[in-house]
């Protein structure tokens, strides 16, 4: 086999591949064995027609094209490995020579990942918010804990008051008739919460336990249900019981309820530790965001193949759909809630995708220029728990997967060798996870090694930055920047 590479654009190459005649003969034989199972040939059972007869039936060109398609995929993959190329997107393939007994020759034109260079990556000037934990912040956490541990108790009074929790039976009537959703038994309602239509809770205030009361409330003109909007609705309510919320005192007993703490002082110390760690993480992300922005600025003029951005956009769109699905929302509903068109959403995703791509290219440049490596020990330390988690997932899947649901080995091979487009769009998970269509995910250790290398590159730059600690009050944009940094950090985490 032979592969010659010629650059035909800033980030585009043409690869000419020559494969041995024997490889073409084998590919033609495989193509025959595949097609003979699919084509009905008069006078022969399916799969039994000789090759010469099949060629007369479908034409020799069909057999050759089937062989060429499979062989070009294998040849392209070999050439990419042999010449250490990093293609992006799908190649354009052109057959140059396809004759039995002669070498199979084809050309593939494809975009390749550009190689960035960064001039400055040590001593970058950055600001870091000084990490401070104020007593009032700890007070707020203690108060939240008190509210979380509050319990409902039977009230020591029998007349409903604002703030009480009233257990009620109620029935609503529109024009003297019950309506769907207008009745309930044993419903618990905090008076003054605004959970019910305006005027409903106010009517209960002053009622005594056991009392029944009938009253009318007017539904708002813009109420969600059209049949009730603007209508007078009559309710019959019985107050069954009153409860009040008892909030525990901020004392040692509270600490013991929360966890292994003997005193309130120990609990406050734990909260101080958690707050400090959270602020340290946010401060580091703020520094990382500045570092990445400066690295990115050094390669702003670097031309990036469109396929790289589109590939990332595809991933971000899929992640958005998954995240929304977990919340029971569609993309259309999300667009309505956020009041943006699909065009606006795609523009935002494109912008974040380009940032993601440039972050990675810049960090790859740092890793290359600073000779940052990940040795086998580091890789094993990260890979082992991930592989164990994937193995547990595969075991669970095998226990729930119906018979016959797994892909046949041949199908898996076909998917794996069908040109790189789909596999590249799927990419890797956060930790180098790779999943072929129809197969359980497996850990791609070399991709994981690369992700760890990029993470080390970011740490390298951050640890050598010229950091100026400032009062958090001076950084009014610190929190938004930290949140933006989480998106930028996807260059390392995904």
Same domain, 81 and 224: no
For the chain, what percentages of helix, strand and coil (3-state, to nearest 5) are there?
50, 20, 30
User: Is 35:58 a contact under the CB 8 Å cutoff?
Assistant: yes
pLDDT in tens, 370-423: 999 999 999 999 999 999 998 887 777 666 554 443 333 333 222 323 333 333
Lowest mean pLDDT among 197-206, 421-430, 467-476: 421-430
pLDDT surpassing 70 at residue 97? yes
Instruction: Say how many domains are in the chain.
Output: 3
pLDDT surpassing 90 at residue 452? yes
Average pLDDT on 200-206 reads 97
pLDDT surpassing 50 at residue 100? yes
Q: What does pLDDT average to over the chain?
A: 88
pLDDT for position 394: 76
Same domain, 62 and 194: no
Per-residue pLDDT band at 432 (split at 50, 70, 90):
low
Is there a domain that residue 255 lies in? no
Is there a domain that residue 131 lies in? no
Same domain, 48 and 103: yes
pLDDT surpassing 60 at residue 41? yes
Is there a domain that residue 136 lies in? no
Same domain, 417 and 292: yes
The H or E element that residue 490 is part of is helix 490-493
Is there a domain that residue 256 lies in? no
Is there a domain that residue 141 lies in? no
Same domain, 274 and 349: yes
Best-predicted range by mean pLDDT (173-177, 408-412, 434-438): 173-177
| Higher local confidence (pLDDT), 93 or 40 | 93
Same domain, 164 and 94: no
Task: Write the DSSP string, 201-265.
Answer: HHHHTT-BTT-EEEEEEEPPTT-SSTTTTT-EEEEEEEEEEEEEEEPPPSSHHHHHHHSS-SSHH
Three-state DSSP class for 94? Answer: strand
Is there a domain that residue 132 lies in? no
pLDDT in tens, 252-277: 999 999 999 999 999 999 999 999 99
What's 401's DSSP letter? S
Same domain, 283 and 419: yes
Same domain, 276 and 233: no
Three-state DSSP class for 388? Answer: helix
Lowest mean pLDDT among 21-30, 50-59, 110-119, 176-185: 50-59
pLDDT for position 413: 28
Same domain, 196 and 295: no
| Higher local confidence (pLDDT), 363 or 64 | 363
The H or E element that residue 365 is part of is helix 342-369
Nearest to 232 by CA among 180, 296, 304, 173: 173
pLDDT for position 414: 27
Tell me how far apart the alpha carbons of residues 9 and 11 are, in angstroms, rounded to a whole number: 5
141-147 long-range CB contacts below 8 Å, 24 or more apart? 141/271, 141/275, 142/250, 142/254, 142/264, 142/267, 142/268, 142/271, 143/250, 145/254, 145/258, 145/267, 146/247, 146/248, 146/249, 146/250, 146/254, 147/247
Per-residue pLDDT band at 86 (split at 50, 70, 90):
very high
Nearest to 39 by CA among 27, 28, 55: 55
Lowest mean pLDDT among 152-156, 314-318, 395-399: 395-399
Looking only at the bridges linking them, the beta strands covering 165-174 and 104-112 are unpaired
Which are the contacts of 31, defined by CB distance < 8 A and separation ≥ 6?
Answer: 63, 64, 66, 67, 70
Same domain, 55 and 203: no
Same domain, 65 and 159: no
Is there a domain that residue 53 lies in? yes
Three-state DSSP class for 437? Answer: coil
| Higher local confidence (pLDDT), 320 or 413 | 320
Tell me how far apart the alpha carbons of residues 421 and 414 are, in angstroms, rounded to a whole number: 14
Tell me how far apart the alpha carbons of residues 202 and 191 are, in angstroms, rounded to a whole number: 7
Is there a domain that residue 135 lies in? no
Same domain, 196 and 285: no
Q: Which domain holds residue 163?
A: 151-246
Average pLDDT on 204-210 reads 97
Q: What is the pTM for the complete model shown? A: 0.72
CATH number at residue 167: 3.10.50.40
pLDDT for position 478: 46
pLDDT for position 57: 85
CATH number at residue 56: 3.30.70.1050
The torsion region of residue 203 among left (phi > 0), alpha (psi -120 to 50) and beta comes to alpha
Per-residue pLDDT band at 45 (split at 50, 70, 90):
confident
**E strand map for 102-209:** 104-112, 125-129, 151-154, 165-174, 177-190
């Amino acid at each position: 086999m032979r592969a010659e590479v010629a650059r035909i654009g800033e980030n585009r190459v043409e690869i000419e591949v020559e494969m041995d005649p024997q490889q073409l003969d084998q590919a033609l034989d495989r193509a025959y064995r595949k097609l003979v199972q699919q084509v009905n040939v008069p006078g022969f059972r399916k799969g039994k027609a000789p090759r010469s007869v099949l060629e007369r039936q479908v034409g020799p060109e069909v057999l050759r094209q089937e062989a060429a398609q499979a062989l070009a995929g294998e040849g392209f993959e070999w050439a990419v490995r042999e010449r250490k190329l990093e293609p992006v997107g799908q190649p354009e393939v052109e057959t140059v020579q396809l004759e039995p007994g002669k070498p199979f020759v084809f050309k593939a034109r494809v975009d390749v990942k550009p190689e960035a260079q960064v001039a400055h990556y040590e001593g970058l000037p950055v600001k870091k918010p000084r990490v401070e934990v104020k007593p009032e912040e700890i007070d707020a956490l203690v108060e939240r804990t008190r509210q979380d541990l509050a319990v409902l108790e039977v009230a020591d009074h029998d007349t409903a008051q604002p703030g009480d929790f009233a257990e009620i039976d109620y029935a609503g009537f529109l024009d003297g008739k019950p309506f769907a959703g207008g009745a309930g038994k044993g419903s618990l309602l905090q008076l003054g919460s605004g959970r019910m239509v305006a005027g409903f809770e106010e009517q209960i205030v002053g009622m005594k336990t056991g009392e029944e009361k009938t009253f009318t409330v007017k539904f708002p003109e813009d109420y969600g249900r059209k049949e009730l909007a603007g209508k007078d609705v009559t309710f019959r309510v019985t107050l069954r019981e009153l409860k009040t919320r008892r909030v525990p005192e901020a004392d040692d007993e509270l600490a013991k309820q929360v966890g292994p703490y003997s005193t309130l002082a120990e609990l406050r110390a734990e909260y101080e530790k958690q707050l400090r760690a959270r602020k340290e993480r946010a401060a580091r992300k703020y520094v990382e965001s500045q570092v990445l922005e400066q690295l990115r600025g050094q390669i702003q003029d670097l031309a990036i193949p469109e396929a790289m951005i589109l590939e990332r956009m595809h991933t971000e769109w899929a992640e958005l759909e998954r995240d929304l699905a977990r919340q029971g929302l569609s993309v259309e509903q999300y667009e309505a809630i956020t009041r943006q068109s699909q065009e606006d959403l795609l523009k935002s995703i494109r912008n974040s995708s380009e940032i993601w791509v440039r972050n990675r290219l810049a960090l790859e440049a740092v890793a290359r220029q600073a000779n940052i490596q990940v040795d086998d020990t580091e890789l094993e330390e990260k890979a082992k728990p991930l592989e164990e988690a994937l193995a547990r997932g595969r075991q669970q899947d095998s226990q729930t997967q119906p018979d016959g649901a797994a892909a046949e080995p041949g199908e898996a091979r076909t998917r794996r060798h069908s040109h790189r487009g789909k596999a590249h769009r799927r990419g890797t998970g956060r930790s180098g996870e790779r999943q072929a269509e129809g197969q359980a995910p497996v850990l791609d250790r070399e991709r994981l090694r690369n992700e760890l290398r990029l993470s080390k590159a970011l740490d390298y730059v951050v640890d050598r930055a010229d950091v100026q600690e400032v009062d958090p009050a001076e950084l009014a944009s610190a929190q938004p920047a930290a949140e933006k940094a989480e998106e930028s950090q996807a260059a390392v985490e995904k």
